Structure 1
Amino acid sequence: MKIGLYFGTYNPIHVGHLIIANHMAEFADLDQIWMVVTPHNPLKKKSTLLDDQQRLQMVYLATEDYTKIKPSDIEFKLPQPSYTVITLEHLKEKYPNHEFSLIMGEDNLKTLHKWRNYEVILENHDIYVYPRISDEPENVELKSHPKIHVIDAPIVEISSTFIRNSIKEGKNIQPLLPPKVWEYIDHNNFYKK
């Protein structure tokens, strides 16, 4: 089975994440998308994250009606901070019959060279890239790598940071969240302080 790993802190998961995940599930040559909830992205501050289990619960709520999209807590069991190369090694050992690929935005592809052992990732895994609006120059060399697949997915400019800030400011951002995620956030008063 060919699995696309879509890593994120999902703090919170929003409709943009689901649009990309569903597009990859339906239009790329992937059998399933695993939305890997990361406990700590080494490039982000950990202090702004909700609890791991709360973020995982939101991903469960958001994906329960999608047969090809599954939540994953695989990184919760690995050393912190999380490094993709370690996660991929662990998944290969745990699921030897699966082929794992990465899903990332074009903005992340531009910084792939900063990732731990990114050459190992590129050598052993396909990377599916969706478009993002960015002022950064594109990495033409990486984009033309045989393991990189640029997918003509919708451009979705919604960020979890925008959602958190909007909730804190008392704005109604309900349309940007899956209904059950909105209810969970509202019920628990997340992001209001």
Structure 2
Amino acid sequence: MKIGLYFGSFNPIHIGHLIIANYVAYHTDLDKVWLVVSPQNPLKPSSTLLNEHHRFHLVELAVKDEPRLRASNIEFSLPRPSFTVDTLAYLSEKFPTQQFTIIMGSDSFQNISRWKNYQHLVKHYPFYVYRRPGHEIKETYGARVEVLDAPLLDISSTSIRQWIKEDKSIRFLVPDEVVAYIAANNYYK
């Protein structure tokens, strides 16, 4: 089975994330896409992060009715901060019959050389990279890269958190169940 790993803080998950995950699940040779909730991204500040278990639950709510998408909390049991190379080593050992592919935006791929042991990643794992405006892929670092033209929305989790603080509606930016759960639990206030 071919599994795409779409890593993110998902703080919170929004329609843009889901469109990309769904597009990759149905427009590539992958059987499933796992949305891997990162407890802590080593390249981002953690001060604005909602608790990882809450973020994971929001991802579960968002993907529960889509058979090719799955929420994953695999990094919760691994050392912090989470490094993709360590997560993939763990997954490859735990699921030796699965083939893993890394899914990311071209903006993140431009920074791949800053990642821990990126040479191992580019040598051993394929990448599906979706285009982000202003971030063309000029260097592949020897990776097997398939560039995708997934539909993109110009929305961000940062904006959504700000709107929640300002008591503005986030309807249509995140799935309805996620909106309701965020409101019921006073997240991001």
Instruction: Tell me which interval the TM-score lies in, with the shorter structure as reference length.
Output: over 0.9
Instruction: Name the residue aligned to 2:184.
Output: 187
**Residue 153 (structure 1) aligned with residue 127 (structure 2):** no
Cα offset for 1:60? 0.5
Consecutive unaligned residues in structure 2, runs of 5 or more = none
Structure-1-length-normalised TM-score: 0.95
Cα offset for 1:157? 1.4
Given the superposition, is the C-alpha separation of residues 139 and 27 from structure 1 closer, same or farther in structure 2, using an over 3 Å criterion? closer
Instruction: Name the residue aligned to 2:120.
Output: 120
- Could you tell me how far apart the structure 2 residues matched to 1:31 and 1:95 are? 15
Question: Which consecutive aligned stretches of 4+ in structure 1 deviate over 6 angstroms post-superposition?
Answer: none
Instruction: Name the residue aligned to 1:5.
Output: 5
Query: Would you say the 8 A contact 1:104–1:129 is kept in 2?
Result: yes
Question: What is the aligned length?
Answer: 189
Amino acid at match of 2:112: L
Compute the RMSD of aligned alpha carbons: 1.2
Instruction: Name the residue aligned to 1:86.
Output: 86
- Could you tell me how far apart the structure 1 residues matched to 2:29 and 2:101 are? 10
- Could you tell me how far apart the structure 2 residues matched to 1:30 and 1:113 are? 25
Consecutive unaligned residues in structure 1, runs of 5 or more = none
Cα offset for 1:139? 4.1
**Residue 172 (structure 1) aligned with residue 172 (structure 2):** no
Query: Would you say the 8 A contact 2:62–2:178 is kept in 1?
Result: yes
| Greater CA drift, 145-154 or 96-105 | 145-154
Q: Which has the higher helix share?
A: 1
Instruction: Name the residue aligned to 1:28.
Output: 28
Instruction: Name the residue aligned to 1:140.
Output: 138
Q: Deviations over 1:103-122 (max 9, x none)?
A: 00010011111001111000
Structure-2-length-normalised TM-score: 0.97
Instruction: Name the residue aligned to 1:51.
Output: 51
Query: Would you say the 8 A contact 2:106–2:137 is kept in 1?
Result: no
Query: Would you say the 8 A contact 1:131–1:154 is kept in 2?
Result: no
Q: Deviations over 1:16-52 (max 9, x none)?
A: 1100000000001111000000000001111111111
Query: Would you say the 8 A contact 1:109–1:129 is kept in 2?
Result: yes
Amino-acid identity (%): 50
SS of the residue corresponding to residue 66 of structure 2 reads: coil
